[in-house]
Structure 1
Amino acid sequence: MTTARWRRWLAIAAIGATLTACGSPSEPQPAPAAPPTSTPPAPVSTTTTAAPVDGPLPHSRPVKLEVPSIGVSTGPIIDLGLADDGALEVPGDAVTTGWFTGSPSPGETGPAVLAAHVDYNHVPGTFNRLKDTKPGDQAIVHRADGTTAVFTVYRVERYPKSQFPTDDVYGDTAGPELRMITCGGAFDRSTRNYADNVVAYARLSQAYRG
């Protein structure tokens, strides 16, 4: 078992609690209006200053995420580790996205994991519309080493938290992949948490520098 895989498995027992915590502590808010269906996602294109890079890529932490189809363009991405109780940490506000450092960095072989809230304290979260992503959508990760890794979504699923498919999400993959995770489904007003998790699965489709 690789070091990265072992570190991911350390979080398995706590994944349910971790993803429960990605819900809102307040009343959920309606999702922002979707962009007109006639407007296609902005394509990613390399320019004369961008040099293609063969993957898999070396280790380099993510610094920004863009998902044009759902209007996501993040600020700096924070590191998420394990809390004292063994649970995966989650961002502390609605607009911050976190990278689980127990997973590969985006572009390395294996499933890089990015997590963000669906909403938080009456504010729609970064992944408020993650459930609306579709196969073919792009997730663009800018990395600290100056490379950009472009992932193409191939699957979007919603799971009851009691049936979270840990190995599908965190298990080893043949090539570089990305997992974007948030909460979804019904909102339980008594616990102020969501019943389900939404996971978007994507594969590396291109990488470039510049």
Structure 2
Amino acid sequence: MTESRYGRRAGFTTCAAAAALLLFTGCTGTPAPEAGITSSAPPAAVSSPATAPTPTSTLAPTASVVTSPTARATPAPEQPPVLAASAPVSLTIPAIGAESELLHLGLREDGSLGVPPEGPGSPASWYTDSPTPGERGPAVVLGHVNATGGGPGVFADLRQLTPGDRIEVTREDGTMAVFAVDRGEQYGKVDFPTLEVYGNTAGPELRLITCDGYDPATGEFDDNYVVYATLTA
């Protein structure tokens, strides 16, 4: 893990979470010399959530035929409850004091993933080809670790989150999807676990993704940091 402070990041270029057809480019700018934020995981080579299997429920295998007249087929396990589709409006993470309206961004014409602007106070963005937060499957939200011109980005403190921390997503239909943090993981570009991050899930989940692992020798981020969370309400 590479640790650095904003004062040591002047002149860095881009952090790219690259996938087969998906590029997450962003986290650029010149950080402020006094801002003290620890970073440790930029984007990595990953497959597009759009190319991963559509999040759908998977039925249990069909029960084998039985001969006993009183025997019954084993019922399929119940799926976790989900919310109806509704686009996200804003996100709040009380444990780290993070609040953000959510942009709705998809893929650019060149196949790269649209990311939020990098100015101070830049919001996070929901990837529109992922499920809406609360639907079955992994909803994907992207945010910068730093801001152009210096200072922390909206996801600068994701590493401080611990299991059980609450993530609240307000939705267009007026409901709130509440998630609990399961864990956070740092992944390098060359070994990003595409299916683990973007693949089908039995219930509604959330992925928060940011840049980290800044390398002052190259001026680039080498990894992604991903927070995994599961719907609780």
TM-score tier (shorter): 0.7 to 0.9
Picking from 40, 60, 69, the partner of 2:86 is 60
Supply the AA of the counterpart residue of 1:56: V
Contact 2:138 2:207 in 1 (8 A): yes
Picking from 15, 22, 27, the partner of 1:23 is 27
Matched position secondary structure for 2:90:
strand
Matched position secondary structure for 1:120:
coil
Which residue does 2:133 correspond to in 1? 106
1:57 deviates by 0.7
Supply the AA of the counterpart residue of 1:63: V
Matched position secondary structure for 2:159:
helix
Which residue does 1:70 correspond to in 2? 96
Q: Rg bigger for which structure?
A: 2
Partners of 2:97 and 2:26 in 1: CA distance: 20
Contact 2:189 2:224 in 1 (8 A): yes
Which residue does 1:47 correspond to in 2? none
Which residue does 1:156 correspond to in 2? 184
Count of residue pairs brought into register by the alignment:
170
Contact 1:114 1:179 in 2 (8 A): yes
Partners of 1:149 and 1:160 in 2: CA distance: 30
How big is each residue's C-alpha offset from its partner over 1:98-151, in whole Å with a ceiling of 9 and x where there is no partner? 000010000000000000000021131000001111111111000000000100
1:164 deviates by 1.4
How big is each residue's C-alpha offset from its partner over 1:73-101, in whole Å with a ceiling of 9 and x where there is no partner? 11x21111001111111101242110000
Which residue does 2:116 correspond to in 1? 91
Give the share of equivalent positions with the same residue, in percent. 44
Contact 1:22 1:182 in 2 (8 A): no
Contact 2:83 2:135 in 1 (8 A): yes
Runs (5+) with no aligned partner, structure 1: 1-10, 33-53
Which residue does 2:196 correspond to in 1? 168
Partners of 2:216 and 2:31 in 1: CA distance: 10
Which residue does 1:13 correspond to in 2? 20
Supply the AA of the counterpart residue of 1:117: H
Runs (5+) with no aligned partner, structure 2: 1-17, 39-79
Compare the two structures and name the one with the higher helix fraction.
1
Matched position secondary structure for 1:185:
strand
Supply the AA of the counterpart residue of 1:130: L
Partners of 1:126 and 1:73 in 2: CA distance: 8
CA RMSD of aligned residues (A): 1.9
Matched position secondary structure for 2:176:
strand
Matched position secondary structure for 2:190:
helix
Residues 189, 124 of structure 1: alpha-carbon distance in 2 compared, 3 angstrom cutoff? farther
Supply the AA of the counterpart residue of 2:36: P
Partners of 1:82 and 1:22 in 2: CA distance: 14
Partners of 1:161 and 1:205 in 2: CA distance: 31
Give the alignment's TM-score, normalised by structure 1.
0.75
Which residue does 2:54 correspond to in 1? none
Contact 2:93 2:99 in 1 (8 A): yes
Supply the AA of the counterpart residue of 1:137: D
1:189 deviates by 5.4
Picking from 170, 186, 198, the partner of 2:225 is 198
